[in-house]
Amino acid sequence: LAHATARYLTVTGDATILKEQLPFLDGQALGEGEHDAFFTPEISKKTVSLYDHCARALDLAIKRSSPAGLPLILGGDWNDGMNRVGEHGKGESVWLGWFLLKTLGDFAAVAKTEGDTKRAQAWAKHAEALKRALESTAWDGEWYRRGSFDDGTPLGSRTSQECKIDSIAQSWSVLSGEGDPARSTTAMQQATKLLVDDHLKIVKLFTPPFSKTDKDPGYIKSYPPGVRENGGQYTHAATWFVIALAEMGQTDEAYRCFSMLNPVNHAFDEASTEHYRVEPYVVAADIYAGDDKGGRGGWTWYT
């Protein structure tokens, strides 16, 4: 919410939206061992401003930090399929670190304009500490790790049996504007080498997919290797990857990967169209990797 609001303010300059009054959603908290619940939430009678909603969210995100200073992944982050990486409250998310770092910087500026000096200073201070934590604990030698499990086992590391490198930890080191430039360059080069599949014309989310590891990352492992978030192309993340390449000035590489996201390039002839299986005139949310169904489109008309 804070990220989207800050972006809205940058594009429109309409700060009046920050004073809009909005309610909360009321619902029962998850019980011990529960990962999700299905119910219709109540709309609270209490309202606070949009600014306050954003500020509370950032304050809570800061509170949910590991001893090392990285955000806790808890029941999943952008990749909700990794819902058991941090189910015991100790696992970390490097991607969320970059995302939070970007948002704290953007919203600290908003806080200043709103006269909320105390929060602006607190967010800026935490951002500095978070940046140090990311560079000191998340760098794996050639790319940034994705995070860590509750027991401290690295996720997205060269030492990992599966999910050795994840694209969003690399792309967001660039998109946040906060990653060490030399490291981000190396990380994106390695991600391009290991995740961009010229044969299938896809940009994988991570590799190798989860299959035989004794670690339980969550329901993501229930997908076959190479399907959806489990090591296939998840186009939302692939788009971030393309934007990161463009921001780095790697325009040829960005266009090459962008062309892979264009669905028409998966259906130039009858054979490729039959293999792709889905509409070539709308972007697919995911495209499979793997030997047998690699290159087949997944869900369309979807995010």
∠ Cα 233 211 188 (to 5°):
40
When divided into structural domains, the chain yields a total of 1
Q: What is the CATH number of the domain that holds 214?
A: 1.50.10.10
Is 200 within a domain? yes
pLDDT at 115: 97
Helices (H), the chain: 2-12, 50-63, 94-113, 117-137, 167-175, 181-195, 235-247, 251-261, 270-276
pLDDT at 69: 98
Is 211 within a domain? yes
Q: How far is CA 39 from the centre of its chain?
A: 26
pLDDT at 302: 83
> How many residues does the structure list for the chain?
303
Is 36 within a domain? no
What is the separation, in whole angstroms, between the first and last Cα of the chain? Answer: 18
pLDDT at 292: 82
pLDDT at 32: 80
Is 70 within a domain? yes
Judged by DSSP in three states, 163 sits in: coil
* Average pLDDT, 10 consecutive residues per value, the chain (303 residues): 98 98 93 85 96 98 98 97 96 99 98 97 98 99 99 98 98 98 99 98 98 94 95 98 98 98 95 95 96 92 82
pLDDT at 253: 98
Please state, in angstroms and rounded to a whole number, the distance separating the CA atoms of residues 91 and 70: 9
Is 301 within a domain? no
Is 30 within a domain? no
Q: What is the pTM of this model?
A: 0.95
Q: Which domain holds residue 197?
A: 2-13+42-287
pLDDT single digits (tens) 149-205: 999 999 999 999 999 999 999 999 999 999 999 999 999 999 999 999 999 999 999
pLDDT at 30: 84
Residue of 300, 189, 303 whose CA lies nearest to 241: 189
- For 176, residues 6+ apart whose C-beta sits below 8 A from its C-beta are 98, 99, 101, 102
What are the helix and strand counts (H, E) for the chain?
9, 11
Is 227 within a domain? yes
∠ Cα 244 245 250 (to 5°):
150
Residue 152 is classified by DSSP as: S
pLDDT at 190: 99
- For 41, residues 6+ apart whose C-beta sits below 8 A from its C-beta are 25, 26, 27
Residue 206 contacts residue 68 (beta carbons within 8 Å): no
3-state helix, strand, coil split of the chain in percent (to 5) is: 45, 15, 45
Is 87 within a domain? yes
